[in-house]
Amino acid sequence: MNDTPILDRITSPEDLREIPAKEIPALAQEIREFLIDKVTKTGGHLASNLGVVELTLALHRVFQTPNDRLIFDVGHQSYVHKLLTGRRDGFDRLRTPGGLSGFTRREESEYDPFGAGHSSTSISAALGFARADRLFGRENYTVAVIGDGAFTGGMVHEALNNCAKDLKLIIVLNENEMSISRNIGALARHLAKIRNSKRYRRAKRDTGSILRHIPLLGKGIYHAVRGVKKAVKTLLYSSNYFEELGLYYVGPVDGNDYGEVERALTAAKEQGEPVLVHVRTVKGKGYPPAESDPRSYHSIRPGATPARTFSDVFGEWLTREGERDPKIVAVTAAMGVATGLEPFAARFPERYTDVGIAEEHAVTYSAGLAAGGLSPYVTVYSTFLQRAYDSVLHDVALQELPVRIIIDRAGLAKSDGPTHHGIFDVAFLSHIPDIRLFAPITFQSLEAVLEATKDDPGPVAIRYPNSGEDPVVVSTFYPTGEYGEPFVRSDNVMDPVAVIVTYGGIVSEALKAKELLKEKGITVSVILVEELKPYDQTAAMIASQIPDGVPIVFVEEGIYDGGASMILSERLSEHFETPPPTRILAIPDHFASPKSPCDLLGWLRLDAAGIANEVTSLLDEIAEN
């Protein structure tokens, strides 16, 4: 670890404001070295945080945080912010259960006024804070920091449309990947320099004041001059989207030049109305591998990456199937590479659409594609599908359209925490009529599910984890290599005293629990469910593989209330003369967010030991009765 003599003097933004301006470049270098050292070990979002070092320093020096609030969109670029606000010691446990969050969290610090994790929410939240301040008569500022990618989300534009002139709101648009503004080149830079100068702002303010105070004609002249100025500016360098919405626009400025950023933020602070400050930063700044390949260093994971994942298998299958069927199209919401669609996009660019960070649009757009005669596959992370619930319900299911919803990152997200846990999709999809829901957990069963459902006339949802397959699961449930329907499989253990019924990645822990129980002389069987809905059909298949009277423990890496286990437990009771004793081991009524460092599965009692204990507890209860 490199020495950090300047950073060592900072435990809060108050300390930062005491640092002489001439030391800021050296401090920025120390911060970059600190982040590279820590994040390459723990994993996390590296490139984006290296890009916002100067911007974050300027924000905390210009604004009086925490009284003035900083709201980071998504929050994955808040590592520098955390470092400057007393959380340096937490970086050794960054993105671990109960450790330092990879996003902003209200309970973590007073400097995190609004939690994040999903995109495009910051401006809406900032508007709420700014309006509350106005109503309470408070004089503090609210600053939303948002990347250009988030501007593809519809909430951003809904919020911009709601901005009012009387709010002390500043929006910092961090452009680090794609160009949004047409104000590029020498003229834009020249205008930005003029607009950021104190002389320009003073002259503009004083001239406006003089004109408005001319008796009778003053206000008319003032508005006429403003109109002429706007017309000339539009003629010179086109209309500005943000100013058309009523925001005062500052920029673009070099977001990695501390002096430029500080001047721009100071200009915004003095304006007295909602302002958008447009900065341009370089992802991975100061770390050559990340600068040259920011996509790979956007989020790095600790340890080895699986050689092959479910996302890869899906992408390969879809590309092969695309060769056969010209009606197949792929849709994603800014997650094409992460969900395995890169091969399909390269082979069929005209049949591939990345809608940006707009999950609800992705699903409804796919519904339109299906209604138009195509066969759409829309890929989305489990946690982001929550945003498209209404689109799935009304636009796809109600109209019985053949949209295939491919749900990646299903299950607990141990590194990213509660905002990214994929633990709700089964519960909320289970209550949508006429949708089929699958959870394949081997590579070939995923392909078998895709083959079995490709001609379905209605909606299908297929979920799987962000991992490779477990060879023990493959050998246990597919010993002969025969895949396909039925998608409910038993390990064929003879004369079990209890049965564990489960689905998804947690089946690996169930099999380990079976071995732990075997060591104690307790024989249990495990049933793997890879087709959840329709539940009546699945319950019948499960019942056919369980002897009468044998107790059942359901294990689910999903929310308890309304989850698959609760539904299957109810349905199974109809298939036995005497319903068997049952237990459900699932995630309780909370967000699976521990307050102190721990093993997440162990904390939830969903690890092998927890499952084994649940089985023995149920057997002991039966014996006592």
Q: Which residues are catalytic?
A: 283, 359, 387
By the 8 A CB rule, do 140 and 168 touch?
yes
The secondary structure of residue 584, as a DSSP letter, is E
Strands 436-438 and 531-533 come out as antiparallel
Q: What region, left, alpha or beta, does residue 216 occupy, with left being phi > 0 and alpha being psi -120 to 50 degrees? A: left
Q: 336-351 burial string, b = 16+ CB within 10 Å, else e?
A: bbbbbbbebbeebeeb
Q: What is the 3-state secondary structure (H, E, C) of 430-492?
A: HCCCCCEEECCCCHHHHHHHHHHHCCCCCCEEEECCCCCCCHHHHHHHCCCCCCCCCCEEECC
For 161-201, the DSSP string reads TT--TT--EEEEEEESSS---S--SHHHHHHHHHHHSHHHH
By the 8 A CB rule, do 344 and 322 touch?
yes
Residue 21, Cβ neighbours under 10 Å: how many? 10
Instruction: Give CA torsion, residues 362, 365, 369, 371, to 10 deg.
Output: 130
Sheet holding 498-502, edge to edge: 488-490, 524-529, 498-502, 552-559, 582-587
Separation of alpha carbons 459 and 392, rounded Å = 9
For 215-242, the DSSP string reads TTTHHHHHHHHHHHHHHHHHHHH---HH
φ, ψ for residue 554, nearest 5 deg: -90, 135
CA distances from 218 to 3, 181, 473 (A): 61, 34, 80
Q: Give, for 428, the enclosing helix (H) or strand (E).
A: helix 425-430
Classify 2 as helix, strand or coil: coil
Question: Residue 390: is it exposed, middle or buried by C-beta count within 10 angstroms (0-12/13-18/19+)?
Answer: exposed
Which tokens hold the place of 614? 């649940």
By the 8 A CB rule, do 572 and 540 touch?
no
Separation of alpha carbons 464 and 310, rounded Å = 7
Sheet holding 275-280, edge to edge: 69-72, 142-147, 169-175, 275-280, 248-254
Among 421, 406, 516, CA closest to 463: 406
Among 130, 184, 123, 131, CA closest to 156: 123
Residue 540, Cβ neighbours under 10 Å: how many? 15
Separation of alpha carbons 85 and 395, rounded Å = 45
CA distances from 249 to 170, 181, 240, 271, 366 (A): 10, 11, 8, 10, 36
Return the residue matching tokens 């050296």: 26
Alpha carbon 159 to its chain's center = 20
Separation of alpha carbons 609 and 290, rounded Å = 41
Among 144, 131, 137, 165, CA closest to 265: 144
